[in-house]
């Protein structure tokens, strides 16, 4: 006899954190609005609209059984790749939009810009989760051959969108897709002897690259400048020696550190900015929070992120459906990497990449994608059953 209890189908912790993020995001954008250029004026109002639309989308995703994603997974993956391919081929030329040296958007009159790579993150999570579950169902007895086959499937599926994003070029999103893939490979059930071999090889390659960089600095620099990531070398210099490149690659980092430090314990108060930080409403929005509300305000934001990640991990463990658990694992990897990278680059722990702070930075595509992901998390939670007797 199998009886079960079902707790509240709605996870109020996740909803509370997302609402808090929405308030923090819109209010911060409101305070920085006077300092924005003409194009970005009224960003806080647009962000409110994106949050409303995202909330409606999350509610719809939550209502429909997430197992339906198994039926449309290849349609989602194909649609995401098609959008990236259209950007790569500049089709149609009047809509494909470039900004900051990257060609990553579609621009529609009256709507604004849409970044397909943001949605591709979630589509990739769904696809990899589907493939892992289906593969493991067909290969109950694990062998080296079956594990290698699964590894090749996952890498192959990730390689296509990662390659198309690399040539835009968009290093930040490229790294997010890589982190999603790596994390899901780690929890896919592939034997650790295979994973340890791969990890050792990666560390060896990183060591070789670092050694080449030290011994052949000029040659490595020339190679980077001729690659799709031509901007990487300047960001690397600006990260390691921001004072030396304070008028170029190190400017944004120095401004960021100064703004965060100037906030001290409790900040300067709402709307009081003394440091001009480039991209303060998007990638560097954490500096605006820290300057206004100091260590206390920034700590609240960090605590909310840890609470969200902790609760999502709990939901993944509680789920009695493998597909649901893998979905949340991928979403945790997506949000966690961007959270650590964004804040890390703001305080010089990591090099600067063009990654927004999830749920808080201004951006329609990113907000809609994150809310879509939250809808999936709430869906998995609402359909998790707690069994009393087996």
pLDDT digits (tens, 9 = 90+) for 75-120: 999 999 999 999 999 888 888 888 877 888 888 887 778 999 999 9
Q: In whole angstroms, what is the distance from residue 123 CA to residue 322 CA? A: 17
The answer on pLDDT for 21 being more than 60 is yes
- Higher pLDDT, residue 248 or 90: 90
**Taking CA 335 as the corner, what is the angle to CA 281 and CA 235, rounded to the nearest 5 degrees?**
55
Q: Lowest-pLDDT range, 35-49, 57-71, 363-377?
A: 35-49
CB contact at 8 A, 369 and 123: no
Q: Lowest-pLDDT range, 68-82, 177-191, 229-243, 373-387?
A: 229-243
pLDDT of residue 132: 96
CB contact at 8 A, 324 and 380: yes
> How many distinct structural domains can be found in the chain?
1
The answer on pLDDT for 37 being more than 50 is yes
Rounded mean pLDDT of 138-159?
91
Q: Is residue 390 very low, low, confident or very high in pLDDT (cuts 50, 70, 90)?
A: very low
User: CA-CA distances (angstroms) from residue 20 to 14, 16, 172?
Assistant: 10, 6, 25
CB contact at 8 A, 348 and 243: no
User: CA-CA distances (angstroms) from residue 105 to 88, 318, 334, 375?
Assistant: 10, 38, 20, 24
- Give the residue numbers spanning the domain of 330: 4-387
Q: Buried (b) or exposed (e) across 229-266, using 16+ Cβ within 10 A? A: eebbbbbbbbbeebeebeeebbebbbbbbebbebbeee
Q: Lowest-pLDDT range, 60-69, 191-200, 228-237?
A: 228-237
The answer on pLDDT for 34 being more than 80 is yes
Q: Is residue 8 very low, low, confident or very high in pLDDT (cuts 50, 70, 90)?
A: low
Rounded mean pLDDT of 172-194?
91
Q: Give the chain's mean pLDDT.
A: 87
pLDDT of residue 198: 83
Q: In whole angstroms, what is the distance from residue 54 CA to residue 372 CA? A: 7
Cis bond before residue 169 (omega within 30° of 0):
yes
The answer on pLDDT for 214 being more than 60 is yes
Residue with tokens 């809509």: 95
For 369, the 3-state DSSP assignment is helix
pLDDT digits (tens, 9 = 90+) for 323-362: 999 999 999 999 999 999 999 999 988 888 888 999 999 9
pLDDT of residue 1: 44
pLDDT of residue 98: 84
What does 124-174 look like in DSSP terms, one character per residue? HHHHHHHHHHHHHHH-SS--HHHHHHHHHHHHHHHHHHHHHHHTTT-HHHH
For 202, the 3-state DSSP assignment is helix
Those residues with Cβ within 8 angstroms of residue 130's Cβ, 6 or more apart along the chain or in another chain: 69, 70, 73, 323
Q: Is residue 232 very low, low, confident or very high in pLDDT (cuts 50, 70, 90)?
A: low
pLDDT of residue 222: 67
Chain CA centroid to CA 338, Å: 4
Q: In whole angstroms, what is the distance from residue 31 CA to residue 281 CA? A: 10
Q: Is residue 206 very low, low, confident or very high in pLDDT (cuts 50, 70, 90)?
A: confident
The answer on pLDDT for 389 being more than 70 is no
């Amino acid at each position: 006899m199998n009886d079960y209890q079902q707790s509240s189908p709605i996870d109020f912790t996740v909803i509370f954190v997302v609402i808090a993020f929405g308030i923090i995001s819109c209010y911060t954008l409101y305070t920085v609005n006077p300092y924005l250029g003409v194009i970005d004026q009224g960003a806080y109002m647009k962000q409110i609209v994106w949050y409303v639309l995202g909330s409606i989308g999350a509610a719809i995703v939550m209502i429909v059984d997430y197992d339906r994603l198994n039926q449309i997974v290849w349609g989602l993956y194909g649609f995401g790749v098609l959008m990236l391919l259209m950007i790569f081929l500049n089709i149609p030329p009047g809509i494909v939009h470039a900004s900051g040296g990257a060609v990553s958007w579609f621009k529609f009159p009256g709507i604004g810009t849409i970044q397909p790579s943001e949605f591709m993150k979630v589509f990739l999570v769904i696809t990899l989760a589907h493939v892992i579950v289906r593969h493991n169902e067909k290969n109950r007895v694990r062998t080296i051959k079956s594990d290698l086959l699964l590894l090749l499937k996952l890498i192959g599926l990730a390689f296509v969108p990662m390659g198309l994003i690399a040539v835009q070029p968009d290093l930040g999103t490229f790294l997010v897709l890589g982190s999603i893939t790596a994390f899901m490979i780690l929890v896919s059930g592939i034997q650790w002897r295979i994973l340890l071999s791969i990890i050792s090889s990666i560390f060896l390659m990183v060591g070789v690259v670092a050694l080449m960089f030290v011994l052949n600095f000029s040659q490595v620099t020339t190679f980077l400048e001729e690659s799709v990531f031509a901007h990487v070398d300047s960001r690397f210099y600006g990260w390691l020696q921001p004072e030396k490149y304070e008028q170029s690659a190190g400017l944004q980092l120095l401004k960021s550190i100064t703004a965060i430090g100037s906030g001290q314990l409790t900040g300067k108060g709402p709307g009081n900015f003394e440091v001009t930080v480039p991209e303060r409403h998007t990638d560097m929005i954490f500096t605006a929070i820290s300057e206004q509300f100091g260590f206390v305000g920034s700590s609240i934001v960090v605590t909310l992120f840890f609470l969200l990640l902790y609760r999502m991990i709990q939901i993944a463990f509680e789920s009695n459906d493998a597909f649901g658990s893998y979905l949340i694992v991928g979403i945790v990897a997506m949000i966690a990497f961007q959270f650590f990278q964004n804040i890390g680059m703001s305080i010089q722990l990591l090099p600067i990449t063009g990654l927004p702070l999830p749920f808080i930075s201004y951006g329609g595509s990113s907000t809609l994608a994150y809310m879509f992901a939250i809808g999936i998390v709430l869906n998995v939670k609402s359909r998790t059953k707690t069994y009393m007797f087996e």
